[in-house]
Amino acid sequence: MQVLVGKKAPLFNASAVVNGNQIVDSFSLDQYVGKKEVVFFFYPLDFTFVCPTELIAFQDKLAEFEKRNVAVVGCSIDSEFSHFAWLQTDRNKGGISGVNYPLVADVSKTISKNFGVLAGSEVKDENSGSYAFNGAAVAYRGLFLIDKEGLVRHQVINDLPLGRSIDEAIRMVDALQHFEQHGEVCPANWKEGEDAMQATQEGVAEYLSK
């Protein structure tokens, strides 16, 4: 599992569904460089169980991301046609109707692999020299906070059964934006509106003495 923090987010250009009802052939995170931070998250599969709870939870909090000028983008190994069908399916039937942030189609699994979230691994057959994939070829629940320069500043990767906290993703956005605006670092469990601190021994001592 590779660590991308501090590095440029891997480039890609892929099909996606945008606005909940429009398939586009060429979608890239490059469109946000210089304009917005991005929360780019992976989930295993459409039409499953934990996944719709996460995608709907992101939608429910989308206004919180938008007021922070942050784009939310989802991705799985499903096709754009599967994404589209899922988006048109009512929630009481296992669908995610009403979700309107982009969903990227990673059919080739290249995006998942480049971000280091593809479950399983390729195994070489010593007799034939050929490679076979061992494990479930789907994405773990990876989440990447990418800044306006295209750098990954935060990543978290959950195993398939473990749903994420959307509030934690918002907290990390707040911490990054606070640091960028004020130059102060954010201590454990920091939330917007609380005291941060200077990245010095004196700053730590002052913070801990409060």
Q: Where are the alpha helices (DSSP H) in 98-158?
A: 110-114
The per-residue pLDDT for range 168-206, each reduced to its tens digit, is 999 999 999 999 999 999 999 999 999 999 999 998 888
Q: Are residues 182 and 146 part of one domain? A: no
Q: Report strand pairing: 103-105 vs 70-76.
A: parallel
Considering the domain boundaries, does residue 90 fall inside one? yes
Q: Are residues 117 and 60 part of one domain? A: yes
Q: Are residues 150 and 176 part of one domain? A: no
Structural domains counted in the chain = 2
Residue range of the domain that includes 209 = 165-210
At residue 29, what is the residue type?
L
Choosing from 14, 16, 29, 51, the catalytic residue is 51
Q: Which residues pair with 157 in a beta bridge?
A: 142
The per-residue pLDDT for range 140-162, each reduced to its tens digit, is 999 999 999 999 999 999 999 99
The percent of residues above 70 in pLDDT, for the chain, comes to 95
Q: Are residues 81 and 29 part of one domain? A: yes
Considering the domain boundaries, does residue 153 fall inside one? yes
The percent of residues above 90 in pLDDT, for the chain, comes to 87
Whichever domain contains 81, its CATH number is 3.40.30.10
Place of tokens 């991301």: 65
| Angle at the Cα of 111 from the Cα atoms of 105 and 113, rounded to 5 degrees | 130
Considering the domain boundaries, does residue 49 fall inside one? yes
> Is 51 annotated as catalytic?
yes
Q: Find the length of the chain.
A: 210
Considering the domain boundaries, does residue 6 fall inside one? no
Please tell me whether the overall predicted TM-score, pTM, comes out greater than 0.85 for this model: yes
Q: Are residues 170 and 139 part of one domain? A: no
Residue 139 in tokens: 């994405």
Q: Are residues 190 and 86 part of one domain? A: no
